[in-house]
């Protein structure tokens, strides 16, 4: 799973790069607009070490933001699964709030909290949180009637058992959702850094943009992609291990 | 122990057609009884009304027992996070442990206790599901095709064992097997649909117990009576 993710990313990155170079040579564009392969290689040698540190900095924020989002989505999803007015209220609120673009309120967070770690974390968590919440509420609200029937009939159903049954029956779906949310957390952190922060790979991309240095941006994209592929592969592996241990 | 359905009116939400109109039937005490009839006539729906899973549009279900009727069907599953033996241990009341052990033996499930539910055949799955209901403290148990996919010989063994082990239980067996219903059930309510009057007809079955001789000609008469009524 991990290797497949890396292969897939390398393939897509190579195709994208080949497309860019094709456009460059077909349209006769200068190295200033789209750098050649040699310039890319040189830039890679110069900035890879620094960008690796930046990407890890961003990933650290994204991971913490994702963990916060997953925990929050689980708590709210479990509360929102009920058919009471409170459950309905949570569901309606989640659907409505997620429709609002979180990036649009990012400047407010930066104005209030500054351009440090906390702002990046909050924006990453918020971007990651709502899709997670919708998925968790969807899974937790859906009864597994053929299993739950017995426990309801005999008065054995407790909320813990209900959550356990629904989580177990949808473990693959949950793993996919959590793994997919890693991309959102990373994207959220990069967006936050791109808007106003003073650290991370998003900040480095912003500087490269001001310098109109596409080679640096392409190296940064490579670093982001490879790191995210490894992280998602590890999450999927962890999901498989949880399922194996649970069903042992 | 008396279970009565009085003047039941019911239509499925969103449909025009009445499923039951002034349906009256009763079970007058413990024993093995049955609902019989063609598919779609409302056997499972009536079971749901009796157990409160569906609300009738009119009429009432009267049951004077201390515990509400239980309903089991052949599409239930056990969670796969532990073995069926572990599941049975967890849901068996302390007072019923001996009973559980006997049932597991009688139902031919002893060699399977370490297996997960998904590793069993359909017939084995239905048997383990039935066992977990039988170890509960029930007065009425409605079994909707609960022995589907179980071979003939094992079904006979299970039905006879249940009849001798639970003389105080009121069982309502829903099955399409006319011979089985005619042989082992006492009161057989044949549901006939709205186009026939009355909508339900009572037939007395042979109510065979372990060790009794089966009168073949009497059984044939009961089966004919059921088929004519349906």
Asked which of B88, B109, B137 is the last residue of a domain, the reply is B137
Contact: A154, B75; criterion CB under 8 Å:
no
Residue B219: per-residue pLDDT? 92
Q: What is the percent of chain A with per-residue pLDDT over 70, rounded to a whole number?
A: 98
- A154 near B CB under 8 A: yes
B113 pLDDT higher than 90: yes
Same-domain status, B118 and B147: no
Q: Given A149, A154, A165, which is nearest B79 (Cβ)?
A: A165
Same-domain status, B154 and B47: yes
Confidence of residue B105 (pLDDT cuts 50, 70, 90): very high
Confidence of residue A121 (pLDDT cuts 50, 70, 90): confident
Same-domain status, B58 and B167: yes
Which residue is listed with tokens 């977990």? B132
Mean pLDDT across A170-195: 86
Residue A99: per-residue pLDDT? 67
Q: Taking the CB of residue B35, how many other CB atoms lie within 10 A of it?
A: 25
Number of domains in chain A: 1
Any alpha helices (H) in A81-169, and if so which ranges?
Answer: 85-98, 106-113, 117-141, 145-153, 159-169
Q: Taking the CB of residue B164, how many other CB atoms lie within 10 A of it?
A: 10
pLDDT in tens, A11-24: 999 999 999 889 98
Same-domain status, B163 and B184: yes
In a domain, B11, yes or no: yes
- Tokens standing for residue A15: 């195709």
Same-domain status, B110 and B165: no
- Tell me if B43 sits within 8 A of B23, measured CB to CB: no
B202 pLDDT higher than 90: yes
Same-domain status, B11 and B120: no
- B159 near A CB under 8 A: no
**List of chain A residues whose C-beta atoms are within 8 Å of the C-beta of residue B133:** 150
Exposure b/e, A173-186, CB count within 10 A at least 16 = b: ebbebbbebbebbb
Contact: B129, A165; criterion CB under 8 Å:
no
Mean pLDDT across A176-195: 86
Mean pLDDT across A205-212: 90
Q: How far is B82 from chain A (nearest CA, A)?
A: 7
Asked which of B137, B170, B189 is the last residue of a domain, the reply is B137
In a domain, B213, yes or no: yes
Q: B52, B80, B81: best mutation site toward chain A, by most A Cβ within 10 Å?
A: B81
Q: Quick one: angle between helices A117-141 and A85-98, nearest 10?
A: 130
- A32 three-state secondary structure: coil
B230 pLDDT higher than 90: no
Q: How far is A171 from chain B (nearest CA, A)?
A: 12
A38 pLDDT higher than 90: no
Same-domain status, B159 and B216: yes
Restricting to A residues 51-110, those with a Cβ less than 8 Å away from any Cβ of B are none
Name the more confident of A90 and B199.
Answer: B199
B18 pLDDT higher than 90: no
Q: How far is B78 from chain A (nearest CA, A)?
A: 6
Confidence of residue A248 (pLDDT cuts 50, 70, 90): low
Mean pLDDT across A113-132: 84
The percent helix, strand, coil of chain B (3-state, each to 5) is: 35, 25, 40
Q: How far is A149 from chain B (nearest CA, A)?
A: 7
Question: Pick from B144, B126, B138: which is nearest to B77 by CA?
Answer: B126
In a domain, B50, yes or no: yes
Same-domain status, B10 and B45: yes
Confidence of residue A73 (pLDDT cuts 50, 70, 90): confident
Confidence of residue A112 (pLDDT cuts 50, 70, 90): confident
In a domain, B16, yes or no: yes
- CATH number of the domain bearing residue B3: 3.40.50.300
In a domain, B154, yes or no: yes
**List of chain B residues whose C-beta atoms are within 8 Å of the C-beta of residue A164:** 79, 81
Exposure b/e, B121-151, CB count within 10 A at least 16 = b: eebbbbbbbbbbbbbbebbbbbbbbbbbebe
Contact: A150, B133; criterion CB under 8 Å:
yes
- List the domain range (segments joined by +) for residue A153: 2-246
Q: Given A147, A246, A247, which is nearest B77 (Cβ)?
A: A147
Helix (H) or strand (E) segment spanning residue B22: strand B20-27
- B70 near A CB under 8 A: yes
Same-domain status, B97 and B211: no
pLDDT in tens, B83-101: 999 999 999 999 999 999 9
Predicted ipTM of the assembly: 0.91
Same-domain status, B19 and B31: yes
B198 pLDDT higher than 90: no
- C-alpha span between A50 and A54 (Å, rounded): 6
- C-alpha span between B49 and B41 (Å, rounded): 14
Contact: B70, A168; criterion CB under 8 Å:
no
Confidence of residue B181 (pLDDT cuts 50, 70, 90): very high
Q: What is the percent of chain B with per-residue pLDDT over 70, rounded to a whole number?
A: 100
- CATH number of the domain bearing residue A178: 1.10.3720.10
Question: Which residues neighbour A101 within 8 Å (Cβ) at sequence distance 6 or greater?
Answer: none
Same-domain status, B143 and B210: yes
Q: What is the percent of chain A with per-residue pLDDT over 90, rounded to a whole number?
A: 26
A150 pLDDT higher than 90: yes
Q: How far is B79 from chain A (nearest CA, A)?
A: 7
Ranking A108-117, A229-238, B101-110 by mean pLDDT, the lowest is A108-117
In a domain, B101, yes or no: yes
Number of domains in chain B: 2
- Tokens standing for residue A248: 């042992």
**List of chain B residues whose C-beta atoms are within 8 Å of the C-beta of residue A150:** 72, 76, 78, 91, 129, 132-133
In a domain, B229, yes or no: no
Residue A240: per-residue pLDDT? 82
In a domain, B228, yes or no: no
Pick the most confident of A111-115, A116-120, B125-129: B125-129
**List of chain B residues whose C-beta atoms are within 8 Å of the C-beta of residue A168:** 79-81
- C-alpha span between A48 and A51 (Å, rounded): 5
- List the domain range (segments joined by +) for residue B94: 75-137
Ranking A155-164, A218-227, B187-196 by mean pLDDT, the lowest is B187-196
Restricting to B residues 79-118, those with a Cβ less than 8 Å away from any Cβ of A are 79-81, 91, 116
Same-domain status, B131 and B145: no
Contact: B70, A149; criterion CB under 8 Å:
no
Q: Given A153, A156, A247, which is nearest B80 (Cβ)?
A: A247
- Tell me if A61 sits within 8 A of A119, measured CB to CB: no
Q: What angle do CA B64, B70, B75 make, to 5 degrees?
A: 160
Peptide linkage before A88 cis (omega within 30 of 0): no
pLDDT in tens, B34-88: 999 988 889 999 999 999 889 999 999 998 888 889 999 999 999 999 999 999 9
Mean pLDDT across A127-152: 89
Residue A35: per-residue pLDDT? 87
Residue A185: per-residue pLDDT? 87
Which chain B residue has its CA at the smallest distance from A171's CA?
B81
């Amino acid at each position: 799973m991990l290797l497949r993710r890396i292969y897939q990313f390398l393939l897509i990155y190579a195709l994208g790069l080949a497309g860019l170079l094709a456009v460059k040579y077909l349209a006769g564009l200068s190295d200033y607009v789209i750098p050649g392969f040699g310039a890319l290689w040189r830039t890679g040698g110069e900035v890879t070490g620094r960008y690796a540190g930046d990407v890890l900095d961003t990933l650290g924020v994204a991971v913490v933001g994702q963990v916060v989002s997953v925990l929050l989505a689980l708590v709210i999803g479990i509360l929102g699964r009920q058919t009471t007015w409170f459950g309905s209220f949570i569901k309606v609120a989640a659907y409505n709030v997620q429709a609002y673009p979180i990036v649009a309120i990012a400047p407010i967070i930066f104005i209030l909290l500054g351009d440090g770690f906390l702002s990046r974390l909050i924006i990453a968590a918020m971007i990651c949180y709502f899709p997670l919440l919708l998925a968790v509420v969807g899974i937790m609200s859906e009864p597994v009637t053929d299993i739950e029937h017995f426990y309801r009939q005999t008065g054995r159903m407790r909320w813990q058992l209900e959550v356990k049954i629904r989580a177990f029956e949808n473990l693959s779906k949950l793993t996919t959702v959590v793994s997919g949310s890693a991309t959102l957390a990373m994207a959220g952190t990069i967006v936050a850094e791109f808007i106003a922060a003073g650290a991370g790979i998003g900040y480095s991309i912003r500087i490269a943009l001001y310098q109109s240095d596409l080679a640096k941006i392409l190296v940064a994209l490579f670093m982001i992609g490879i790191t995210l592929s490894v992280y998602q592969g590890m999450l999927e592996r962890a999901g498989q291990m949880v399922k194996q241990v649970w069903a042992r | 122990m008396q279970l009565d359905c009085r003047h039941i009116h019911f239509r499925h939400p969103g449909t025009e057609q009445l499923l039951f109109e002034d349906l009256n039937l009763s079970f007058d005490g413990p024993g093995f009884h049955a609902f019989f009839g063609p598919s779609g006539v409302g056997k499972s729906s009536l079971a749901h009304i009796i157990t409160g899973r569906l609300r009738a549009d009119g009429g009432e279900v009267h049951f004077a027992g201390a515990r509400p009727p239980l309903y089991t069907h052949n599409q239930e599953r056990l969670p796969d996070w532990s073995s069926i033996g572990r599941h049975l241990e967890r849901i068996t009341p302390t007072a019923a442990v001996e009973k559980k052990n006997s049932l597991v033996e009688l139902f031919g499930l002893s060699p399977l206790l370490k297996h997960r539910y998904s590793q069993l055949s359909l017939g084995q799955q239905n048997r383990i599901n039935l066992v977990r209901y039988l170890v509960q403290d029930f007065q009425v148990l409605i079994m909707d095709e609960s022995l589907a996919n179980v071979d003939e010989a094992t079904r006979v063994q299970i039905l006879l064992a249940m009849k001798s082990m639970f003389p105080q239980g009121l069982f309502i067996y829903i099955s399409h097997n006319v011979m089985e219903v005619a042989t082992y059930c006492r009161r057989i309510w044949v549901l006939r649909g709205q186009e026939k009057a009355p909508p339900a007809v009572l037939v007395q079955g042979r109510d065979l117990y372990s060790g009794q001789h089966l009168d073949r000609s009497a059984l044939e008469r009961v089966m004919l009576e059921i088929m004519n009524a349906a």
